[in-house]
Amino acid sequence: MKKFIILLLIPFLSLSQDIIYLNNNSKIESKVIEITSQEVKYKEFSYIDGPLRTLKKSEIKLIVYENGSFESFEISSGLNNKSEQEKTSFKKSKLNKRQVGILLGVNFTSLIGEDKNNFSNALDIAYGQNNLVPSAGFKIGLSVLEERVNKRNQPYNISSELYLEKKGFAIQDNNGNYIKDSFLYLTNTVIYHGIINTQGNSVLTIDFGLFNSVILLGATKSNIDGYENSDSFEAPETGLNWLDNGFISGLSLSNKINDAGYCISLRFMPSFFSIYDPDFSNLSISWFNFSLGGILYF
């Protein structure tokens, strides 16, 4: 509204001087000498031979020139501020370093899920009283770690991994009979490492991420009444869903010297409902995977 009133008064203003209207509603009778990208340089009209003075564009609302033309800086300033805000809000995180490493580890897997008891009861009928026993397996692959700094200059790490891993479980009764099922997966992960402590070359992080596994093949080994048997299966023959997805949470301790170093991680990796076996009425049973791993970076 104030700007509108000023524009109405332009025809009645003196045409022998430049009028600078400031954001604080004051005005300066002047002779504008130069306008740069950030400033307006002028001399006071009452002291035209005096010193050259400077105002920031952000302080100026409007300039009405001696010839009657005018220039608004309020809109321009707002656009500049908006542009600066957009630059700040869309500032990307900075990548400081990227390292590649060899991943080695061990898994301890078991079954979880609301239908686990149904699965166990079905096995009781088939094989007698039994217990589900956690199974140990390996994992081996590659890891890529990126050390980053966000727009607030806070460091964090992002890693991605691709590895082969074996997960499985064993069914064992009181007489020593057992059946061990193991499954080979190709797994990839994306993990955020939030830094919670740094001391010297050691960094402790809390880890959150997701994993996606594709089953490659399965194997069964059994020993029942002294008779041993083993067999392998292609992925569709295992009775499991070909995809296994889940969450990652855990802790990592890294130690790096120059471009080399190592990382030790402890992770809990529960999966979504993943096991399907038509012999046991479309069970929904998931893996619970406890993983201990080490990575050598080079």
| Six-digit token string for 5 | 């009133």
Best-predicted range by mean pLDDT (86-100, 169-183, 271-285): 169-183
Q: What pTM was estimated for this model as a whole?
A: 0.63
Kindly write down the DSSP assignment for every residue of the chain, as one continuous string: -HHHHHHHHGGGS-SSSEEEEETTS-EEEEEEEEE-SSEEEEEEGGGTTS--EEEEGGGEEEEE-TTS-EEE-HHHHHHHHHHHHHHHHTPPPEEEEEEEEEEEEEEEEEEESTTHHHHHHHHHHHHSS-EEEEEEEEEEEEEEEEEEE-TTS-EEEEEEEEEEEEEEEEEE-TTS-EEEEEEEEEEEEEEEEEEEEEETTEEEEEEEEEEEEEEEEEEEEEEETTEEEEEEEEGGGGSB-SEEEEEEEEEEEEEEETTEEEEEEEEEEEBPS-B--GGGTS--BEEEEEEEEEEEE-
Rounded to an integer, the average pLDDT of 20-28 is: 88
Q: Tell me: pLDDT of 186 over 90.
A: yes
Q: What is the predicted pLDDT for the residue at 117?
A: 65
Residue ranges, CATH 2.40.160.20, the chain: 94-297
| Six-digit token string for 194 | 């939030």
Handedness of CA 194, 199, 203, 204 (dihedral sign): negative
Lowest mean pLDDT among 73-77, 131-135, 215-219: 73-77
Q: What is the predicted pLDDT for the residue at 222?
A: 86
Q: What is the predicted pLDDT for the residue at 258?
A: 66
Q: Tell me: pLDDT of 226 over 70.
A: yes
Strand order in the sheet with 70-72: 53-56, 39-44, 27-35, 18-22, 60-64, 70-72
Write out pLDDT tens, residues 74-124: 654 444 554 454 444 445 667 778 899 999 999 998 877 655 666 666 666
Rounded to an integer, the average pLDDT of 141-151 is: 90
| Six-digit token string for 10 | 């332009």
Give the largest CA-CA distance in the chain.
113
Q: What is the predicted pLDDT for the residue at 269?
A: 92
Which residues are 185's β-sheet partners?
A: 165, 215
Q: What is the predicted pLDDT for the residue at 7?
A: 46
CATH class, domain 94-297, is mainly beta
Best-predicted range by mean pLDDT (51-60, 85-94, 203-212, 273-282): 203-212
Q: What is the predicted pLDDT for the residue at 184?
A: 95
Q: What is the predicted pLDDT for the residue at 264?
A: 95
Identify the architecture of domain 2-89 in CATH.
Answer: Roll (2.30)
Q: What is the predicted pLDDT for the residue at 224?
A: 80
Q: What is the predicted pLDDT for the residue at 198?
A: 86
Write out pLDDT tens, residues 26-72: 889 999 999 988 899 999 988 888 899 999 998 898 888 888 788 88
Q: What is the predicted pLDDT for the residue at 263?
A: 94
Between these two residues, 187 and 125, which has the higher pLDDT value?
187
Between these two residues, 16 and 199, which has the higher pLDDT value?
199
Mean pLDDT of all residues belonging to the chain:
80
Q: What is the predicted pLDDT for the residue at 291?
A: 93
Dist CA 64 CA 54 (whole Å): 17
What does residue 218 show for φ and ψ, rounded to 5 degrees? -135, 165
Handedness of CA 220, 223, 224, 228 (dihedral sign): positive
Residue ranges, CATH 2.30.30.100, the chain: 2-89
Neighbours of 296 (CB within 10 A): 13
Rounded to an integer, the average pLDDT of 200-223 is: 92
| Six-digit token string for 242 | 């070909």
Q: What is the predicted pLDDT for the residue at 11?
A: 47
Q: Tell me: pLDDT of 277 over 80.
A: no
Rounded to an integer, the average pLDDT of 236-260 is: 84
Q: What is the predicted pLDDT for the residue at 125?
A: 66
Q: What is the predicted pLDDT for the residue at 123?
A: 65
Between these two residues, 121 and 20, which has the higher pLDDT value?
20
